[in-house]
Amino acid sequence: MKAEYEALKKQIQYHSHKYYVMDDPEITDEEYDRLMRRLLEIEKENPSWISADSPSQKIGGTILEGFSQVEHTVKMQSLQDAFSNEELLEFDNRVRSVLGKAPGYCVEHKIDGLSVSLEYRNSVFVRGSTRGDGSVGEDVTENLKTVMSIPLRLNVDVEYLEVRGEVFISKKTFEKINAEREQNGEPTFANPRNAAAGSLRQLDSSVAAKRGLDIFVFNIQQIEGYDIQSHAEGLEFLRKAGFKVILNNRIFATIEEAIAEVEAIGEARPELPFDIDGAVIKVNSLADRETLGSTAKTPRWAIAYKYPAEKKKTKIRSITVQVGRTGVLTPNAEFDTVSLAGTFVSRATLHNLDYIRERDIKIGDTVTVYKAGDIIPEVLSVSFEDRDGSESEFVMPSHCPACGSPVCRDEGEAAYRCTGADCPAQLERNITHFVSRDAMDIEGMGPSIVAQLLEKKLIKNSSDLYYLSKEDIASMDKMGQKSAENLLASIEKSKSNDLSRLLYALGIRHIGLGAAKAICKKLKNIEAFFDADDQVLTAIDDVGLVMAQSVIGFFAQPHVREMIDRMKAAGVNMEYIEEESAGNALEGMTIVLTGTLPNLGRKEATDLIEKNGGKVTGSVSKKTSLVVAGEEAGSKLDKANSLGIPVVDEDGLMKLIGD
């Protein structure tokens, strides 16, 4: 039986590779299933025989408490983006100026998926992790084991190998998943990339196993015992090892040839069985890559060309109005459904009435739509030549569609606003904002939970969240006892937030998180807000009269006093918590952040500056002390240079702080 078992493992691994990697099956699905059933029978009788490379490990079934972190010993960098042939030619000039020669280039599809690392020891798959921030990712080994195109044992002997690949869901599989979810009454996925990312982060690997995840491997991160000289040679090694390798493997002698290949991939994009969001040009020689090196974030030997946004024509059938959390009425175009960048789109925001009038958009117009940044649907232009006279002007309603209250337009503003204090549309969005990450950060309470709580009349305003019981939460759809306990724990944790988080969470017009911190630092506790006048508030840096009047008007409302008292009674902190200072190296400095920093996120950099006595603002002026610029810094950097304001990078900021 042991001999039969070992032979079965090899047979199944061979046929899996032929089917899922080579797309060249030699046996029928029924024959494959018969082999797998026999393997499972033997393993059931002899569980001690089961090894990490057994095909049975593809089925999934492991349930994790959470994902542990993985530190990447070779950083998983992102790529510099290009949007024109001129930028590709500039890239080639930079490469040739450093190398003193024309290098060979490889060109590959840029798969629109989720980047992962796969690690093998003694040819057996031992760990898989997400990219995360490039330095630290999450251990998703059990879910990656379920990806049929990932070999659990390699066809070559290698002590240690780490490869990088892109996990994705094919267009055909995506359509099948969404059809099944729709049939089961479940919400559908927005696009294949979201579906792949969500599947890979399932705590139950059996769920991931059902999603039909696939992978293309495109790089060797680390290898022991082999001397590989070029990228093309590395891809060929990976192909022999049993991986499903990125499609192209040709070498192009010039950048012009590489650009022609990029254009060819772009033309074939609609017919591909998977989504791509660009093409990647890479220097082939690994020695040349070593010479070129990398920045903190991107390699200097590769560049990603992003294709222009896909555009489609469609017809606007109606313009509807949505009421936001601050009462702003936003018109939205409802049009005939079109497929754009991997998703079906039937609506797009029209922002405000001025936007509609400037572009002369009418109901019934044929328009060109696209996705800004391949994400947000936008109306690009109107086909005036297609008008036949049946089109009609959009008129902003005089009364709120959600509550019937009068609508007004403040002087000097583009927005129309509902005047109703108890508008249900505002209420839902207000509470959703209240629980959001930068506000009270109540983890697990998303828009659908808020909507259910309001629908079941379990809450009327944000203060009611602190009086919910486990039974209240467990009674909602898809919420069991454990989920209810977790959500209650998150609500309880939010009570200890600093007052500035609460002030921001209340959703006062014109008051962002930065302004909330500045005001709370001055007023110290919530009671001071009920007595504050415009003189007190405008004396605070960066608080103008409009902001001051907005705060005063908000706290003058009777229902606000009642809501604050209920929160206070529930144990919500109402005091400003003085942040522990890291030093005063930036005391009195007004600093502007622009571009992408290599190691610090925007929030991390802001917190660091504030803890060292500095203040972060969003725009450059003569009052700006310093600009911290990262990659792809734009107009703020230009303005700083024109005004003669000092500019530093992240390293320069750290030196100023003395860290």
Q: Residue 557: phi, psi to the nearest 5?
A: -75, 130
Contact 511, 551 (CB under 8 A): yes
Angle of helix 545-555 versus helix 558-570 axis, rounded to 10:
70
Distance linking the first and last C-alpha atoms of the chain = 64
Q: Alpha carbon 327 to chain centroid distance?
A: 27
Choose, from 58, 110, 362, 371, the residue flagged as catalytic.
110
Give the torsion sign (CA, 341, 347, 351, 357).
Answer: positive
Tokens 């090899």 sit at which residue?
10
DSSP annotation of 190: S
Alpha-carbon distance of 142 to 126, in angstroms, equals 10
Question: Is residue 123 left, alpha or beta, with left meaning phi > 0 and alpha meaning psi from -120 to 50?
Answer: left
Q: What is the dihedral of CA 256, 259, 264, 265, to 10 degrees?
A: 150
Contact 506, 557 (CB under 8 A): no
**What are the C-alpha distances in Å from 530 to residues 133, 384, 554, 571?**
43, 54, 9, 19
Q: Which of 397, 377, 412, 434 is nearest to 323 (CA)?
A: 397
Q: Encoding tokens for residue 132?
A: 């995360």
Give the torsion sign (CA, 126, 132, 137, 139).
Answer: negative
Give exposure, 2-39, as e/b (b: 16+ Cβ within 10 Å): eeebeebbebbbebbbebbbeeeeeeeeeebeebbeeb
Number of helices (H) and strands (E) in the chain: give both, helices first: 24, 22
110 in catalytic set: yes
Give the torsion sign (CA, 14, 15, 16, 17).
Answer: positive
Complete DSSP assignment for 592-610: EEESB-SS--HHHHHHHHH
Contact 200, 115 (CB under 8 A): no
Tokens 């649907």 sit at which residue?
377
Contact 395, 401 (CB under 8 A): no
Residues taking part in catalysis: 110
